[in-house]
Structure 1
C-alpha cells in the first residue's frame, strides 16, 4: 500500500528529528546543596527569614526542608571555604529510569560514581554537567513524617505551615551560571530528557540563557551565561511562595531584619515569574518567586526565543535589569 505523499514526508521528517529521551525519566528537582563560609548565619537565614525547618545535622551539613516538599530535605547547607552551589539532586521516576539516564550519561563519555551519603535518600549516582555542576540521580527516598509539633491538620500535606518568616512552599528552581550555555543545556535536554521552554539569543547568534523543565512547571533548571567565562558557579536558588502577596511580605520582612534586597519585587518578562532577589549572609543569591499558576501543558510547546533587543527593554513592567544581575555569582571571581 502506497502512503499518501504528505504522510510519507511527515514520516521522513519525524525520522530526521534527533532522538531524545522521554520526558518523565527525571520526575522532578529533588534538593540542592549550598556552600557557605558562615553556615550558622546561613542556616539562620533559611529558618528565621524563609521559614524552613531543620531536620538533621551531620558534621558540616545541615538538612532543611520547606513545609510542602514531601521528602526528607529540600536543602543541604554545607560549611565550606567559599559560597556557591554544591550538589543538585534529581529524583528519577523509577529504578529503571535511573539506569537509563545513567547509561545515557556514560554514553557521552562522562563518568560517575555511586554514593550513599545523605539521610533519607537511597543511593545516588553522582556525575557533573559539562560546566562542572555536580548532578546526582536517585530514585529511592523516604517520605517525611512530621513530629507531633509539626503535624498538619490536613492529611495530604506533609508538614504544618510555619508560623514565622516567609513560609516558602517548596524548592522551585536553580539558575546556574555556565561558560557555554548551549553545551550545558544540551546535556539536560539530550541526555537527561528536559524540555527547553524559553531562551535568549544574542545578536551574535549565541544563546545567553535557556530555561528547561522536567515537569509541567515552566522551568526547573536554568543556564545563563557567565560573563567571567568561569565554570560551575551559581546565579541563584529559588523558593516558591503561595501567593504574590507573600513575596511582598518577604520584602517587608527583609528590610525589617537587615536582609539585603538586590532587586524587586517585580515581574519577569521571561516565564512571567513574580520575584524578589535577596542575598543570604554568605552572598548566595536567593529568589522568592511565585510561578505557581503558570504551567506548560502542551506536549508540543514551542521554544520561545527572546532577542537581545527585547531583553534590553527590561522586565515585564519596565523595570530595568540591575547591573549586578549580570555580574554577581558565587563563588565570587577575583
Structure 2
C-alpha cells in the first residue's frame, strides 16, 4: 500500500487539474484570490467565479462556489490519455457528465472518504488576450506582477477518517505513488503524500482528528521563488489576511511554505519545493515517526496548534 511503487504499473493520471473551493462569502473570496494572490477572473455564473493562475495551460484553475460552509468541492484530475481515462473508469464506480465549464466528458467518482473527483481528458486551453498576452509563446499568460503572483495549483491536502483505506485506493485504483508518509507507533499511516508524475506530491491525506469525512485541510499554490512567498507575507499583512503560520520550511517534502486563511475560512498554502523531483522509478517511501515529527519543522519551529485542528467545513470534535 505504501511500499515502493511498481515501476511496471502504468500511470494513467497526468496531474491535478482544476479544483472547486466552497465559500460562504463568494465575492470576498474572489477579491482575496484576485487582488492578494494574483489570480485572474475569467468567467462567472449565478453561483460561482472561475479563476486562472498565470501559467496554467488550462482555461481555469479554481472555481469558487457560493456555499453555506467552506470546504472543498470537486477536484479534477487530467488523464494521461483517452485510453488511460477509459482504463481508470472501468475500475471505478462512476457517472459521466458533460456540463463542466470548458471540459469535455468528466468521469465523476468519490474516494473512500467521500471527496468528489472528476477525471477528464478533453480540455480547452487558456487563450490570453491583449491584457495578459505573454512575450514568450511557451507561457500561458503574462506574469501578473500583482500580489503573490501564484503560478499554478500545486497540490491538495484532504482530511480523511481512514488513511489506510484511502491510501490503498490511491495506489491500487488510481495508480498514484506514495513518496512520504507519517506512521503511528503501530506502523499504520497517519498521513500520506502521493504523486501522479515526477513532482514530489500532488494528493495528500491526513487523519481527521474529528472522525469526520469529506473535509479539506488546504489547497496549495506554487510560486516561482521562495522570495515571492516572503513578499506575499507582507502583502497578506497589509491586506489584513489571517497568516496562520510561516514562512518556514517543512521537513516532510522540504517545502518552503506560508499558510493563510482566505475570507471563507479555507486554508491556503503558498509553497515552493525548490528543485526536488522524484525521478527514481523505484522510489522507496520515506516514513516519518512520531518522535521525528515532534522535532517540529525543518528549522525547528513549533507547528501552530490550529494546523492540526482547523479544517473545512468546521465541525466539532467527535463526541462533543
Query: What is the TM-score with the length of structure 1 in the denominator?
Result: 0.91
* Residue 38 in structure 1 maps to residue 28 in structure 2: no
Q: Secondary structure of 1:271's partner?
A: helix
Matches for 1:1-334 after TM superposition, within 5 Å: 22-105=9-92, 111-334=93-316
1:174 and 1:238 in contact (8 A); partners too: yes
Shift in Å at residue 118 of structure 1?
2.0
SS of corresponding position for 1:254: helix
* Cα distance in 2, alignment partners of residues 48 and 104 from structure 1: 42
Q: TM-score, normalised by structure 2?
A: 0.95
| Greater helix content | 1
Q: Distance in 2 between matches of 1:316 and 1:266?
A: 8
Structure 1 stretches of 5 or more lacking a match?
1-16, 106-110
2:230–2:247 Cα contact (<8 Å) kept = yes
Match of 1:7 in 2: none
Is the contact between residue 5 and residue 284 of structure 2 (CA under 8 Å) also seen in structure 1?
no
How many residues matched? 313
| Counterpart contact for 1:21–1:193, Cα < 8 Å | no
Q: Which segments of 5 or more consecutive residues in structure 2 lack a partner in the other structure?
A: none
* Distance change (3 Å), C-alpha of 1:102 and 1:20: farther
Q: Which stretches of structure 1, 4 residues or more, deviate above 6 A after TM superposition?
A: 17-21
Q: What secondary structure is seen at the aligned counterpart in 2 of 1:99? A: helix
Cα distance, 1:19–1:298 mapped onto 2, change above 3 Å: closer
From the superposition, tell whether residues 232 and 42 of structure 1 become closer, same or farther in structure 2 (CA, over 3 Å): same
Does 1 or 2 have the higher relative contact order (CA < 8 Å, sep 6+)? 2
Deviation at 1:292, TM superposition (A): 4.0
Tell me: CA distance 1:21–1:187, structure 2 relative to 1, closer, same or farther (3 Å). Answer: farther
The CA distance in 1 between the partners of 2:263 and 2:14, in whole Å, is 32
1:204 deviates by: 3.3
Q: Given that residues 23 and 194 in structure 1 are in contact (C-alpha distance below 8 angstroms), is that contact kept between their aligned partners in structure 2?
A: no
How many angstroms apart in 2 are the aligned matches of 1:305 and 1:299?
Answer: 18
Q: Distance in 1 between matches of 2:128 and 2:62?
A: 17
RMSD after superposition? 1.4
Helix, strand or coil: the match of 2:126?
Answer: coil
Question: 1:20 touches 1:190 (CA, 8 Å); kept in 2?
Answer: no
Indicate the SS of the match to 2:131: helix
Given the superposition, is the C-alpha separation of residues 208 and 116 from structure 1 closer, same or farther in structure 2, using an over 3 Å criterion?
same
Q: Please name the residue that 1:6 is paired with.
A: none
CA contact (8 A) 1:84 1:330 kept: yes
